[in-house]
A and B are shown apart, each in its own frame.
Chain A
Amino acid sequence: MTCISELAIDRLLAGELPLLEATAAREHSARCGRCGGLLDDALTMQSVFAADPPPLRLPALRPRRRYLAYAAGALAAAATVVLFVGRRSDDGPGGERTKGGPRVSFFVAHDGHVRHGVTGDHVVPGDRIEIATTSRAPGWLTVVSVDGAGMRSVYVPTRAYAAGTEQIVPFAIELDATLGLETVTATFCTQPAGGECTTDQFTLHKEAR
């Protein structure tokens, strides 16, 4: 592998590189002094920034006009009603979706190969799943799974997602040994806790190796 760019390092730290590229980049950085140094510098900057982020100076929110207060109150009340719309079982690789709404898709890393997953995909314990979102607008994502034993797991705790096509969620899920049909449901919300929400889901058939 050739040396990696700083853009690639940024994407690696953000979890945007596909699994194989990320693995190759890490392995190369472990051998290459230049790239290892760049990665170390990036990791140091990341940890220093996370420990003590400089204040972000965004403009203050404008005070709302009085006559809007009633409308705002009504909207806030309406926003607490969580709307779950549109369910679909097998409409292409993304699982269920509302037309034009946000979608979830996924990639499967199996024995060193990564493929684009489709709902109903056959997987084995130890496979790694990468979740991706496609949406016209940013929002908040939560992904939960119910495995073949009926056990519910949170795959992706509530986190912000960006607008765009197949935005990779920056961590992978390694599938455990529980076999059977697993249903993964992504909930897209306009606010961190509630607001208007839609869901999309896909299924996995987990089989023994």
Chain B
Amino acid sequence: MTDRRQWVEHLYRTHGHAVLRRARRLLGNLDDAHDVMQDVFLALHKNGDKFAGRSSVTTYLYSMATHASLNRIRNGQTRTRLVAIEASARTGVAPPTGAMRTLAHQILEALTDEEAELAVYLYCDELTHPEIASLLGCTPRQVGERARKLGERIDRIGERVA
């Protein structure tokens, strides 16, 4: 266990900043991001053997930070806030308000956690399919198929709630 502790402490020193930055980006504030960073490394300490080496350490931690951040905001009905933050960061325009915000909120609340994670990678992070594949542990082709299904599902939700 000492070895794992040293390993986690080493990863914290070398990769903690990346986890903190990732969480700050998704959560929009540094205080929550610090909590998520602690959660990530605590989970790594507890379940480090789940890291099977299918991806790089950085990719694995990126995925863990995304999961932890989404978990944190899941119950706060703040997915809309997440999208608003991301959209304004990417485009430099004001966050969506009014009807658009309500629509985005209803769509995101209707997504499962897995779908929300994929939506973040696709629409917020604008990752490539190979990058998403490395995060999800699948092939780029499977990412394409999941993205197509997600798009159709968002369309259906949008039609229902519009």
Q: Which residues of A contact B (CB under 8 A)?
A: 3, 5-8, 10-11, 13-14, 16, 41-42, 45-46, 48-50, 53-54, 56-59, 61, 135-136, 138-139, 159-160, 162-165, 167-168, 190-192
Contacts and interface: CB of A to CB of B under 8 A. Distances in A.
A135 B48 CA distance: 14
B59 A160 contact: no
B38 interface: yes
Contacts of B13: 50, 53
Given A42-B21, A56-B38, A160 B53 contact: no
A58 B57 contact: no
Contact of A160 (B6, B38, B127): B6
Contacts, number: 116
A48 B20 CA distance: 11
A7 B131 contact: yes
Q: Is the interface of B mostly helix, strand, loop or mixed?
A: helix
Nearest to B4: A138
Contact of A58 (B9, B17, B22): B9
Interface of B: 1-18, 20-22, 25, 34, 37-38, 41-42, 45, 48, 51-59, 62, 125-128, 131, 135
A58 B41 contact: yes
B21 A139 contact: no
Contact of A49 (B10, B17, B55): B17
Given A6-B125, A7-B125, A190-B3, 18 more contacts: A7-B135, A10-B15, A11-B58, A14-B15, A14-B18, A41-B21, A50-B13, A56-B8, A57-B42, A58-B42, A59-B42, A61-B2, A138-B48, A162-B11, A162-B56, A164-B52, A164-B57, A167-B57
Given A10-B18, A10-B62, A192-B6, A16 B56 contact: yes
Given A53-B13, A57-B42, A162-B57, A5 B131 contact: yes
Given A10-B58, A50-B17, A160 B45 contact: no
Given A16-B58, A163-B52, A53 B12 contact: yes
B62 A7 contact: yes
Given A5-B125, A10-B18, A41-B21, A164 B58 contact: no
Contacts of A165: 53-54
Contacts of B53: 135-136, 162-165, 167
Nearest to A46: B17
Contact of B55 (A54, A56, A164, A168): A164
A57 B41 CA distance: 9
B88 to A, nearest CB: 14
B58 A58 contact: no
Residue from A5, A8, A168, A191 having most chain B Cβ neighbours under 10 A:
A5
